[in-house]
Amino acid sequence: MKNKNKEYAVELHNISKIYKLKGKDEKKEFYALKDISFQIEKGDVVGVLGTNGSGKSTLSMLLSGISEADEGELKIHGEQALIAINTGLNQQLTGEENIHVKGALMGLSKKRIQEIKEGVIEFAELGDFLYQPVKKYSSGMKSRLGFSISLSLDPDIFIVDEALSVGDKGFAQKCVNRMMKLRDEQNKTIFFISHSLPQVKSFCKTGLWIEGGKLMEIGPIEEVCEHYAAYVDKYNALSEAEKKKIRDEKFKERLIEKKEIGLLQKIKKFVKG
């Protein structure tokens, strides 16, 4: 039962996301995320952990509204912005033009866009590259621009997906400092997806661990990081053959059997009908 004293920014109830795989002989479907449920209070800072392919980026796309769930209910209370290396940037446009386009998509007036542009230019520190097409940018420069635009648009919920894993450490720390200010002074809700456990532990309050498309644990950041680190250490100590066996088992668990596919299709058809 929902606690009436708590104000949630995000609520997920039995969320699943299904992707199709094209094989040589047949098409398969698998769960990128399966039966995920959690609630995040407004003002919380959530460190999202998980090994490669666990479903972290799929979760970030669902939270940001870029993708829709196939099953379950997702409630987002407030405006959200995804900060990833390439997401939301038009490669053919210049950095400056991207600022205008992003602002227009958010419904901002030309005057307001002009006002926030100065803040973006100052924070991104791109110099003359601001007037070059984004396709000429390095990954670090794209991260700088995307991060700076999202900060200036001032959403209620930030979803940061590995955006600080590229570029120089100085700018990454600058971004962390700004997000800390948003956390402490403006009560913003932040999802922080990163492989850097020290960074996650120093910045986040809550830990959310996803593995093999399933929610393994959610709780105080120190506890979740400790359990996740122990899992990673144990996995890394295995031989390559043992690692492959575990990966294959995880993937097999995520595959949807043909009977299950048929049932899902019948349910969807019934709902639409």
Q: Over 70: is that where the pLDDT of 99 sits?
A: yes
Q: Over 60: is that where the pLDDT of 48 sits?
A: yes
pLDDT at position 49: 96
Cα dihedral 229→37→47→142 (10° resolution): 120
pLDDT at position 215: 96
pLDDT at position 165: 63
pLDDT at position 219: 97
pLDDT at position 263: 47
Q: Over 70: is that where the pLDDT of 265 sits?
A: no
pLDDT at position 16: 96
Beta pairing, strands 71-76 & 8-22: antiparallel
pLDDT at position 50: 94
- Token pair in block for residue 10: 């995000």
Q: List 265's β-bridge partners, or say none.
A: none
pLDDT at position 74: 96
Q: How many Cβ atoms sit within 10 Å of the Cβ of residue 174?
A: 16
- Token pair in block for residue 21: 């795989």
Contact 143, 170 (CB under 8 A): no
Contact 157, 80 (CB under 8 A): yes
Mean pLDDT of 168-181: 81
Contact 183, 167 (CB under 8 A): no
Per the listing, tokens 């959403």 go with 155
Q: How many Cβ atoms sit within 10 Å of the Cβ of residue 78?
A: 12
Instruction: Identify the sign of the CA torsion 91, 93, 95, 98.
Output: negative
What is the spatial distance between Cα 5 and Cα 23, in angstroms, rounded to a whole number? 49
Mean pLDDT of 34-50: 96
pLDDT in tens, 188-206: 999 999 888 988 998 899 9
Residues 6+ apart with CB under 8 A from 257: none
CA distances from 156 to 70, 217, 262 (A): 25, 25, 40
pLDDT at position 243: 92
Contact 166, 89 (CB under 8 A): no
Instruction: Report the chain's mean pLDDT, rounded to a whole number.
Output: 85
Contact 9, 81 (CB under 8 A): no
Cβ burial of 105 (10 Å; 0-12, 13-18, 19+) is: exposed
Contact 34, 16 (CB under 8 A): yes
Cβ burial of 195 (10 Å; 0-12, 13-18, 19+) is: middle
Q: Over 90: is that where the pLDDT of 9 sits?
A: yes
pLDDT in tens, 212-261: 999 999 999 999 999 999 999 999 999 999 999 999 998 888 988 654 44
pLDDT at position 261: 45
pLDDT in tens, 141-166: 888 888 888 888 788 999 988 766 65
Q: How many Cβ atoms sit within 10 Å of the Cβ of residue 225?
A: 19
Stronger pLDDT, 38 or 180, i.e. the higher one: 38
Mean pLDDT of 60-79: 93
pLDDT in tens, 21-38: 776 556 788 899 999 999
pLDDT at position 23: 63
Phi and psi at 50, nearest 5°, equal 160, 150
Q: How far apart are the first and last CA of the chain?
A: 31
